[in-house]
């Protein structure tokens, strides 16, 4: 970086990527700033610049060593910063640029007086991260699996024993404990991460509640799907249908096979079926309905949203929205880890909630190879009406958009 480039940067002021500091800054204050950058998208601290942008230069001896040492001792996990000098920004005044990229091991904490504190960058300020923000960073990094946490108040009686027996016996082809042997059931469910120990008591995990609870939203309020059908191509106060879909993810089959209890994927498809209009044609003497959206594609998209959404984000359900020209499924939270839209299209495998993926795969709801977008959603829409689904990643949500028909060229 040249002095002229640095002066241009200083002229833009402090923001979410740049902070000014004197070289007299304490090691714990500089560590706080670097941690906040690491937990966002990276950034630079310009040592030798006043808050008002005045270049005062640096005078601390062995400044690079001091910065490197605090990055080892005051930041957890330790980091190696990128250090670069800009000489004579003003005559005889040098600036040390301390830059960090977005950290791969979020969340990063500042260690001071034996206490670890997590910070995030908000505009030009650093603030302590909330518990929910810390949990999301741990989950995004793969260091915390939210679904394995205990769902407080969710005892064994919270779970639907009929669905559990159906899963272990019919779906997995195995055996299950006797109905009245609660101790054996709890031991089995702990082994498969559907229950856990909390203060000496067996409690259903978040994943266990989502999959098998009689009423999941009582313990995980964000467990459902909000389904809305609008008459036009934009949201409106007038709706054709507006339903909250609640219940366990997995279905319940009767003794002879047909479902006697819907899971959330089935409930979502039932909503789409009731609020779209099929066309029909004859194949020989048989009437064949052609839905506006292919059933296997809709099911795959909804199932993916259920198993991959960020359940640490409270207060919002998955959104299933039908417009006159499209269908959208919107999941709270960004894509996990380093997954990108291009990676999904090429078939990259990922799982934010591995237990949910495993169980829903056992039922056949998600692609067994983890490539449902590549092998089912994209080719399914091409075959159905020649359209390409839109995969849209935003700051706090991910949307899959299916088009009802090809757009005029």
Q: How confident is the model at residue 142 (pLDDT cuts 50, 70, 90)?
A: low
What integer is the mean pLDDT of 41-66?
94
Percentage above 70 pLDDT, the chain: 94
Alpha helices (H) in 227-325, listed in sequence order:
264-274, 295-308
Smallest CA-to-CA distance from 160 within 306, 261, 255, 267 is with 261
> What is the chain's mean pLDDT, rounded?
90
pLDDT at 102 over 60: yes
Tokens of 192: 């498969």
What integer is the mean pLDDT of 165-191?
Answer: 93
- Give the whole-number percent of the chain exceeding pLDDT 90: 70
Q: Residue holding tokens 């998208």? A: 41
In the structure encoding, which two tokens stand for residue 117, read together?
Answer: 């504190």
pTM for the whole structure: 0.68
Give per-residue pLDDT as tens, 245-285: 999 999 998 776 678 899 999 999 999 999 999 887 677 66
Return the pLDDT at 396.
Answer: 85
CATH fold of the domain at 3-129: 3.30.950
Q: Give residue 139's pLDDT.
A: 67
pLDDT of residue 341: 85
pLDDT of amino acid 230: 97
Q: What share of the chain is helix, strand, coil (3-state, %, to 5)?
A: 35, 25, 40
pLDDT band at 143 (very low <50, low <70, confident <90, very high): low
For residue 44, the model assigns a pLDDT of 96
- Does position 313 have pLDDT exceeding 80, yes or no? yes
pLDDT for 106 equals: 82
Domain 221-403 has CATH 1.20.1540.10: no
pLDDT tens profile 357-385: 999 999 999 876 667 888 899 999 999 99
Domain range annotation of the chain: 3-129, 148-216, 221-403
Q: What is the pLDDT of residue 135?
A: 76
393-407 confidence digits (pLDDT tens): 987 899 999 999 987
Question: Whole-angstrom Cα distance, residue 361 to residue 211?
Answer: 12
pLDDT tens profile 234-248? 998 989 999 999 999
């Amino acid at each position: 970086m040249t002095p002229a480039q640095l002066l241009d940067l200083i002229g833009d002021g402090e923001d979410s990527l740049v902070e000014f500091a004197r070289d007299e800054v304490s090691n714990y204050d500089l560590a706080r700033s670097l941690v906040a950058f690491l937990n966002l998208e990276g950034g630079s601290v310009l040592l030798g610049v006043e808050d008002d942008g005045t270049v005062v230069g640096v005078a601390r001896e062995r400044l690079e060593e001091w910065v490197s040492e605090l990055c080892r001792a005051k930041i957890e996990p330790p980091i190696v910063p990128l250090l670069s000098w800009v000489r004579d920004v003003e005559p005889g005044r040098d600036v040390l640029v301390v830059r960090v990229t977005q950290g791969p091991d979020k969340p990063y904490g500042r260690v001071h007086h034996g206490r670890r504190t997590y910070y995030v960058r908000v505009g030009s300020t650093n603030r302590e991260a909330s518990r929910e923000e810390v949990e999301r960073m741990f989950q995004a990094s793969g260091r915390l699996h939210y679904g394995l946490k205990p769902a407080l108040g969710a005892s064994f009686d919270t779970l639907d024993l009929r669905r559990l027996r159906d899963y272990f016996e019919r779906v997995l082809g195995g055996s299950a404990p006797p109905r009245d042997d609660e101790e054996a059931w709890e031991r089995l469910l702990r082994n498969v991460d559907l229950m856990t120990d909390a203060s000496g008591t067996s409690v259903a995990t978040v994943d266990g509640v989502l999959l098998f609870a009689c009423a999941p939203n009582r313990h995980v309020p964000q467990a459902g799907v909000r389904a809305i059908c609008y008459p036009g191509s934009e949201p409106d106060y007038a709706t054709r249908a507006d339903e909250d879909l609640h219940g366990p993810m997995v279905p319940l089959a009767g003794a002879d096979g047909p479902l006697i209890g819907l899971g959330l994927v089935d409930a979502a498809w039932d909503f789409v079926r009731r609020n779209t209009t099929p066309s029909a044609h004859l194949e020989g003497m048989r009437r064949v309905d052609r839905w506006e959206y292919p059933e296997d594609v809709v099911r795959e998209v909804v199932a993916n949203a259920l198993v991959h959404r960020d359940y640490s984000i409270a207060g919002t359900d998955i959104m299933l929205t039908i417009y006159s020209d499209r269908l959208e499924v919107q999941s709270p939270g960004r894509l996990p880890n380093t997954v990108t839209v291009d990676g999904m299209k090429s078939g990259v495998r990922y799982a934010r909630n591995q237990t949910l993926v495993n169980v829903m795969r056992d039922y056949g709801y998600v692609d067994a190879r983890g490539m449902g977008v590549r092998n089912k959603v994209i080719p399914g829409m091409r075959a159905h009406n020649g359209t390409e689904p839109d995969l849209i990643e935003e700051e706090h949500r991910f949307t899959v958009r299916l088009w009802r028909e090809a757009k005029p060229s």
